[in-house]
Chain A
Amino acid sequence: MPAESVDTEHQRESKARPLIWFLARGLESPTSRPKAWDLVRALALVGFVFFAAASSFSWLRLNITTPLKHERINPRDAYDISPIEQDLALLRRWLPVEGKVGYLSDRPEGPRYELRYRLAPLLLDYNWAKHDWVLVDYPVGQGATLIGLSRYRLVTALPEAKSFARGMLIYRRNP
Chain B
Amino acid sequence: MALFLGTLLAFGLAWSIGYFLVRALWREQPRDLADRLLRLAAAFGLGVGIVAALDFLWVAAIAKPSRGIVLVDLAVLAVVFLAYRLSRKHSAPAADGSRVFGWTSGGVVLFFTVIALGIVGTVLLRVPDGAWDAIAIWNVHAKFLNAPSAHGWKAMFDPIMEQSHPDYPPLLPGFVARGWLYAGQSIPLVPMTLAFGFTLALLTLITAAVTSARGGILGALACTVLAASPIFLGTALSQYADMPLAFFFLLAVSLLYRADQEHEFRPGLHVLAGLAAGMAALTKNEGCLFLVALIAGRLLYLLLSRSTLKSLAWLLLGMAPIVCVLLCYKSFTPPNYFVAGQGRDFWKKLLSRPRALLIIDSLRIELEQPHSFSVGFLQRTRTWNWHLLASSALILLLGIDRRRFAHRLSKWALALVALGLLADIVGTRVATGAFGWHWSVAIIAAVLIVGLGFDRRRTGHASFLAAATTLVLVNVGYFVVYLLTPVDLRWQLMFSIERLVFHTMPLAIFVAFLAVASWGRDPTPVLTKPHQG
Contacts and interface: CB of A to CB of B under 8 A. Distances in A.
Contacts of B405: 27
A69 to B, nearest CB: 11
Contacts of B108: 49
Interface in A34-72: 34, 37, 40-41, 44-45, 48-49, 51-60, 62-64, 66-68, 71-72
Contacts of B148: 97-98
Contacts of B112: 52-53, 56
A121 interface: yes
A98 B149 CA distance: 8
Interface residues on B, range: 35 or more
Contacts of A71: 126-127
A117 B7 CA distance: 22
Interface string B367-388: 0000000000111110110110
B393 A44 contact: yes
B303 interface: no
Contacts of B398: 41, 44-45
A100 to B, nearest CB: 7
Given A28-B406, A55-B387, A62 B381 contact: yes
A29 B188 CA distance: 60
Nearest to A40: B397
B403 A30 contact: yes
A24 to B, nearest CB: 5
A77 B402 contact: no
B228 A117 contact: no
A75 B125 contact: yes
A120 B163 CA distance: 13
B391 A58 contact: no
A56 B115 contact: yes
Contacts of B397: 40-41, 44
Contacts of B128: 77-78, 82
B444 interface: no
B152 A57 contact: no
A162 interface: no
Report which residue of A23, A116, A117 has the largest number of chain B beta carbons within 10 angstroms of its beta carbon.
A117
A110 to B, nearest CB: 8
B390 A48 contact: yes
Interface in A93-119: 97-100, 113-114, 116-118
A19 B140 CA distance: 58
Nearest to A126: B160
Contacts of A52: 112, 224-225, 227-228, 387, 390
B452 interface: no
Contact of B125 (A56, A73, A99): A73
A17 interface: yes
A157 interface: no
B367 to A, nearest CB: 16
B7 to A, nearest CB: 8
Interface in B114-128: 115-116, 118-119, 122-128
A97 B150 CA distance: 13
24 contacts: A1-B407, A20-B415, A24-B411, A26-B402, A41-B519, A48-B224, A48-B225, A48-B391, A48-B394, A51-B383, A51-B386, A52-B224, A55-B384, A56-B119, A59-B119, A59-B379, A63-B122, A73-B126, A78-B188, A82-B129, A82-B188, A113-B163, A121-B147, A121-B152
Given A23-B414, A72-B126, 17 more contacts: A27-B411, A34-B402, A41-B398, A48-B221, A51-B390, A52-B224, A53-B111, A56-B116, A59-B381, A62-B381, A77-B125, A77-B128, A79-B4, A81-B187, A114-B135, A117-B164, A121-B156
Interface of A: 1, 6, 13, 17, 19-20, 23-24, 26-30, 34, 37, 40-41, 44-45, 48-49, 51-60, 62-64, 66-68, 71-75, 77-82, 85, 97-100, 113-114, 116-118, 120-121, 123-125
Interface of B: 3-4, 7, 108, 111-112, 115-116, 118-119, 122-129, 135-136, 139-140, 143-144, 146-149, 152-153, 155-156, 158, 160-161, 163-164, 185-189, 192, 217, 221, 224-225, 227-228, 233, 377-381, 383-384, 386-387, 390-391, 393-394, 397-398, 402-403, 405-407, 411, 414-415, 418, 517, 519
7 closest A-B pairs by beta carbon, nearest first, are A52-B228, A55-B383, A121-B147, A120-B143, A62-B379, A56-B115, A30-B403
